[in-house]
Amino acid sequence: MAPLRILTAVPICDGHDSAVSTINMELARHGFEVIYLGYHCPVSTIVRAAIQEDIHVVGISSYNGGHIVFFKEVVDQLRALGAGDVPLFGGGGGTITKADERVMQRQGTDRIFHAGTPLDGIMALIRKEYGRTLKPNTKLRGDRALARAITLAEQNPTHRPSPIAHHPPQKRTRAFVVGVAGPGGAGKSTLIDELTSRFLRQNPAGRIAILANDPSHPDTGGAILGDRVSMIYAQDDRVFFRSLATRGSLTGLSAAAPAAIEILRASGEFDLILVESVGIGQESDPFGLFGKKHRLVDAMLFVLAPYYGGRLQLQKIGLLNGADLVAINKCDHPMAHTARAEIAARLAANGKGQRLFGTVAAKHHDPGVDTLYAALAELGHLKVTPGGEKPCQLEVAP
Ligand code: B12
Ligand SMILES: Nc1nc2c(ncn2[C@@H]2O[C@H](COP(=O)(O)OP(=O)(O)OP(=O)(O)O)[C@@H](O)[C@H]2O)c(=O)[nH]1
Ligand SMILES: [Mg+2]
């Protein structure tokens, strides 16, 4: 059976994330895949993620005292969106009493794990009660149908389910597919979120899909799929976001990623599909840029931070030969100036007209990200609302 996928979150107006972090680590250690949303999460964010991630169960860690109302709202919204079969459990130490639990169960919550419950017991119960194989279901509609098609691809990466049968598109859009790769922690997810904000502003009716690959732990098979935590703008109904664990694939992508891209393309729903690789090093070619296998994407954005080492390390990064766009992110770092000069020289030596950008993804409205988005939109012939973004001078010509 494929690993259980669990969505965890802390409710809005609650910053107690220490308990859920412990639970997340324990879940991963027991071979579960955890999609973590972080703290201060509104109900709508949790419900949207539950649907798009096609998880087995939602787990909420709540300490702010609002659990009776909050859990009920999650159940109600899941039901309203045709996902009433998705179970919900939670914990909150001594703040959720046994009497509260009884009320919550009547309102649709499955169970509460109270203070003092041993972690091993929690894990064993989750495996026993919530482990099941998610099956094809022709009754599913919209994002849920799309999400289930990707789940089936994860179960059998060589099988190509027909998403159209499940998900008749309202319109037929030709998607521009961009691979986003780079070392772990360079800011890929943060940058994707900022690019998403520009897409949403400039395409008032368009949709964007994000496929975020994260590594499975080689020892346990579990995974913390944490790319959603870096996302602010991507918490929007016009964004379809799916996290994929690599499950032993060493390419930098889940083995199901090619099928997932195909499913998203074939749905006709999306103008832009961004595929984030796991944090990768010097020898990967996740998107098949160099001709040994089928090329998965229409363009590739390589993201790196200024502290990559030195010139020699740059020479070793093969993807710098194939990237269409290169972003030096974290340009607020003191080494950014040197990095720009070194990378510009590296790209100039390639002689392929690759474009280099300096970005600070951690800053909203960063002009470097504006310029990068403009270049991406131009490459993909994406709609750009006039006046949406002002040009800026940060681009470095290689
Ligand atoms: C640590 C802590 C903090 C830390 C938080 C650090 C962090 N990043 O999480 C700090 C010091 C920052 C803090 C701050 C505050 N805290 Co505080 N905090 C606690 C404390 C001591 C422990 C909570 C905890 O992490 N427990 C560890 C977990 C692992 O164990 P557990 O709670 O027993 O949970 C078990 C199960 O429920 C289960 N579980 C829990 N969650 C989940 C989720 C899933 C999916 C699953 C499967 C299982 C599960 O796991 C455990 C297994 O045994 C509690 C008191 C207490 N003893 O519970 C107060 C407590 C929660 N805090 C409280 C308060 C009031 C606050 C503040 C508002 C204080 C203030 N005035 O500033 C702030 C608010 C912060 C914010 N932004 O939200 C109150 C809440 C009262 C209420 N709701 O009515 C408590 C109860 C203290 C009290 N008695 O007054 N707090
Ligand atoms: N100072 C600074 N920090 C940034 C910038 N962009 C992202 N970060 C921070 O860098 C950390 C990693 O960012 P992510 O977006 O998660 O990086 P990632 O490349 O997606 O990471 P993986 O998916 O784990 O490989 C986060 O704490 C971000 O807030 C930036 O421009 N400047
Ligand atoms: Mg990431």
Q: Where are the domains of the chain?
A: 5-130, 170-379
Name which of 107-121, 284-298, 310-324 the model is least confident about: 284-298
- pLDDT of residue 166 exceeding 60, the answer is no
Q: Which ligand is nearest to the CA of 40?
A: 1
Task: Point out the ligand 2 atom lying closest to the alpha carbon of residue 182.
Answer: 19
340, pLDDT greater than 90: yes
Pocket test for ligand 2, best of 180, 189, 190 (most atoms within 8 A of CB): 190
Q: Which residue has the higher pLDDT, 54 or 156?
A: 54
- Asked whether 84 and 10 are in contact (CB, 8 A), the reply is no
Please give the Cα distance from 85 to 76 (Å, whole number): 11
Q: pLDDT confidence of 162, banded at 50, 70, 90?
A: low
pLDDT at 91: 98
Give the model's pLDDT for residue 391: 39
pTM: 0.94
In which band, very low, low, confident or very high, does the pLDDT at 170 lie, cut at 50, 70 and 90?
Answer: low
5-130 carries CATH number 3.40.50.280? yes
Q: Which atom of ligand 1 is nearest to the CA of 96?
A: 37
The SS3 assignment for 210 reads strand
CA of 240 to the centre of ligand 2 (A): 21
Which structure tokens are listed for 127? 């495996």
Predicted confidence (pLDDT) at residue 367 exceeds the cutoff of 90: yes
Model confidence over 135-161: pLDDT tens digits? Answer: 999 999 999 999 999 999 999 887 766
**Mean pLDDT lowest for which of 157-166, 187-196, 309-318, 371-380?**
157-166
In the chain, DSSP assigns E strands to: 5-9, 33-36, 57-61, 88-91, 111-113, 176-182, 208-214, 223-225, 239-245, 272-279, 299-304, 325-328, 355-358
Give the chain's length: 398
Query: How is residue 206 written in tokens?
Result: 């368009």
Query: Which tens digits make up the pLDDT trace of 208-252?
Result: 999 999 999 999 999 999 889 888 998 999 999 999 999 999 889
pLDDT at 163 over 80: no
Under CATH, domain 170-379 is a member of which superfamily? Answer: P-loop containing nucleotide triphosphate hydrolases (3.40.50.300)
Average pLDDT for the chain: 92
Predicted confidence band at 390 (pLDDT cuts at 50, 70, 90)?
Answer: very low
Residue of 63, 71, 88 with the most ligand 1 atoms within 8 Å of its CB, for mutation: 63
